[in-house]
Amino acid sequence: MKPPASIPEIYGLMAEFHQPADIVDAAERAHIEGYRRMDAYSPYPIEALTEALHLHHSRLPLLVLVGGVIGCLAGYGLQWWTSVIAYPLNIGGKPLNSWPAFIPPAFETTILFAALTAVLGMLALNGLPEPYHPVFNVPSFALASRDTFFLCIEATDPRFDAQSTRRFLESLPGVSGVSEVEH
Amino acid sequence: MDESRPRGLSADALPAPAADGALIEPGHTFGSVTDKISSIVLQRRTPLGWVVGFGIGFALLQLLLYAVANLLFVGIGVWGPNQPVGWGFDIINFVWWIGIGHAGTLISAILLLLRQAWRTSINRFAEAMTLFAVSCAAFYPVFHTGRPWLAVYWLFPYPNTMGVWPNFRSPLIWDVFAVSTYATVSALFWFIGLIPDLATLRDRATSRPWKVVYGMLAMGWRGSAKHWHNYETAYLLLAGLATPLVISVHTVVSFDFATGVVPGWHATIFPPYFVAGAIYAGFAMVLTLAIPLRKFYGLDGFITLTHLENMAKVMLATGLVVGYGYMIEAFMAWYSANNYEQFMIWNRMTGPYWYMYWALILCNVVMINTLWLKSLRTNVAYLFFISLVVSVGMWLERYVIIVTSLHRDFLPSSWGMYAGTKFDYAAFVGTIGLFITLLFLFLRFLPAISIFEMRTILPGAEMKERLEDGHP
């Protein structure tokens, strides 16, 4: 089955490395070369790789802050509404809005909402769960979760060219193979 | 280092292992670490030792089912609590289990923020231990209500047909919020940590069904740099959120007592003293589990003597805080010049439960101080023994706090005695069975050591200097 003309024939070209320093170096060189639509794959987080790819700051901290604030307001609001409006009870002569006593549950809901936002936000920003992705079509990609590092330049990159990009990837130090990534 | 970047898990944020104590056996590579840890899960043959251990746990779990069935058919009269001791084994065991859970969060969150690289090989199973301990703890508040399905409206604020809402001025409701949040956040933290390792298992599993199961759990994780970037941020934020949370949980648990007027409970020292006790008990349980784990699965290259000694040091430090708590309880009773307080402490030391108090002092004050000796801190058999002593000591502590405070309060006419019934003991041993069962299932189906974090502490993972020198 042939994909429509507007979609490139392949997803991209993927180079394979065995040393963490090589993948960082490769990502830096690819960025200098002008490639932007690319991603690196590693078996563990490498901060230098994030820098080499010039990734933007994660928006997650802001989301988590918002989640925490909503959690705090929701937790306190629930206690205030049930204790003052819905079911006012005189407990030891304390005021209906006994705010010091409402702090522990409001604190817990703050943490709960912020933590849920951190997890769900991380998954959402990463587009997970994602049952299918073209990179898994490369047979050796199974080693990306073991000890091998990959750099994939995507075919949608304006500078992508099947021949010259392949030559560039093959010229990178430490590269042990370049393969086509099918859709 | 650029302050604006999230850090924590990355290789260059971790300090190099101390010269005298290696955190990982030399000679390991990314591949060998992966193979070694994942083979425990992926091997086809189940080891005989696993079957025996799981069998014991599962048999004890049946005891729990029996105890619960009896409780539900007959009523909570089968348990010991009565006037004047209205809180017995249920809350003793609840506090004991929830305290044990605290070490898991401490290791995974606080030690991460403090950049203690040695946490890496013990955090995963310590987090699992937290989850299972919290499950065991949750059993007691749920079932001490006798008819839990009728009790939900006391505990959770939901719009019910009676129009009744919980009383948020009660520390017991704070407890519901603290413990349920703690269970949720611990589960999230644990699962997030597992995702990259589940991807490893997906890629390495040889049988189709396991590939599918691990594949679904890994949610398509592919180790993309963009993903790791958000992942690390999320992990670090979760650690930052779990740190105040774990401190709040045992603080709130201590409020169950400290906000009461009963002599022996009404003390401001309770929150810090309970939190220290929780970490102390938790590290003891981590040692109790780590020592057999490293022996039977041959993981002493990953869980080294350095790890065990560090845990012993944390146990010693928190044990001293706990000992200070006992001292302050006695001092405040004397200094308060309050008859009831003074009687309470005197009754603890010399009353009908004197042996409980002195056994507690033996376990938590005398025995723990032997860990000042390096020769004992590095003796694996002794550490295993002392970890059991600490677990017993912490159970006795809760027994002493709860029972001796309640059994003789203000009016001698309302004094009484308390003892657990056989169903109390059955339920307690049963929750130990639940804990063992869950733990063995975890060991068989999920990686007990975080594989991707182990990769980050390998010497080859460091690359900052190599980059500056140019290409190697």
Q: Span B275-280, mean pLDDT?
A: 91
The one-letter amino acid code at B289 reads L
ipTM: 0.90
> Maximum Cα–Cα distance for chain A, whole Å?
82
Residues of chain B with C-beta less than 8 angstroms from the C-beta of A57: 4
To the nearest whole Å, the CA of A43 is away from the closest chain B CA by 6
Instruction: Kindly report the CATH number that applies to the domain delimited by B38-460.
Output: 1.20.1630.10
pLDDT tens digit string along B293-307?
888 888 888 888 888
Closest Cα to residue B287, out of B403, B419, B376?
B376
pLDDT tens digit string along B77-100?
899 888 888 888 989 999 999 999
d(CA B123, CA B157) in angstroms, rounded, equals 34
Residues of chain A with C-beta less than 8 angstroms from the C-beta of B233: 58, 60-61, 122
Query: B31 and A147 in contact by Cβ < 8 A?
Result: yes
Pick the CATH number of A12-57+130-181 from 1.25.10, 3.40.50, 3.30.70, 1.10.3110: 3.30.70
How does DSSP classify residue B23? S
Residues of chain A with C-beta less than 8 angstroms from the C-beta of B234: 60, 118-119, 121-122
pLDDT of residue B319: 94
- Count CA atoms closer than 13 A to B455's CA, side-chain side: 26
Residue B6 in contact with partner chain A when CB distance is under 8 A: yes
Q: Are B191 and B136 in contact (CB under 8 A)?
A: no
Binning pLDDT at 50, 70 and 90, where does residue B260 land?
Answer: confident
Query: A60 and B185 in contact by Cβ < 8 A?
Result: no
d(CA B405, CA B402) in angstroms, rounded, equals 6
Within 10 A of B335 (CB to CB), how many other CB atoms are there? 11
> Which one of B237, B245, B252 makes the best mutation probe of the A interface by having the most chain A beta carbons within 10 Å?
B237
Binning pLDDT at 50, 70 and 90, where does residue B462 land?
Answer: low
Residue B160 in contact with partner chain A when CB distance is under 8 A: no
pLDDT at B13 exceeding the cut of 70: no
pLDDT tens digit string along B357-392?
999 999 999 999 999 999 999 899 999 999 999 999
Residues of chain B with C-beta less than 8 angstroms from the C-beta of A82: 157, 165-166, 168
Residue B170: closest CA among chain A residues belongs to which residue? A101
Residue B459: closest CA among chain A residues belongs to which residue? A20
> Which one of B172, B182, B224, B243 makes the best mutation probe of the A interface by having the most chain A beta carbons within 10 Å?
B224
How is residue B116 written in tokens? 């203690």
pLDDT tens digit string along A163-178?
888 888 888 888 888 8
Binning pLDDT at 50, 70 and 90, where does residue B345 land?
Answer: very high
Query: B220 and A133 in contact by Cβ < 8 A?
Result: yes
pLDDT tens digit string along A77-109?
999 999 999 999 998 899 999 999 999 999 999
Enumerate the domain spans of chain A. 12-57+130-181, 60-125
The residue among B13 and B139 whose pLDDT is bigger is B139
Strands A38-41, A149-154: pairing is: antiparallel
How is residue B279 written in tokens? 């970490």
d(CA B179, CA B63) in angstroms, rounded, equals 25
Binning pLDDT at 50, 70 and 90, where does residue B463 land?
Answer: low
Residues of chain B with C-beta less than 8 angstroms from the C-beta of A20: 11, 460-461, 463
**CA-derived radius of gyration, chain B:** 24
Closest Cα to residue B462, out of A80, A47, A183, A14?
A47
pLDDT tens digit string along B171-221?
989 999 999 999 999 999 899 999 999 999 988 888 888 889 998 999 989
pLDDT at B28 exceeding the cut of 90: no
Query: A44 and B237 in contact by Cβ < 8 A?
Result: no
Binning pLDDT at 50, 70 and 90, where does residue B21 land?
Answer: low
pLDDT of residue A48: 85
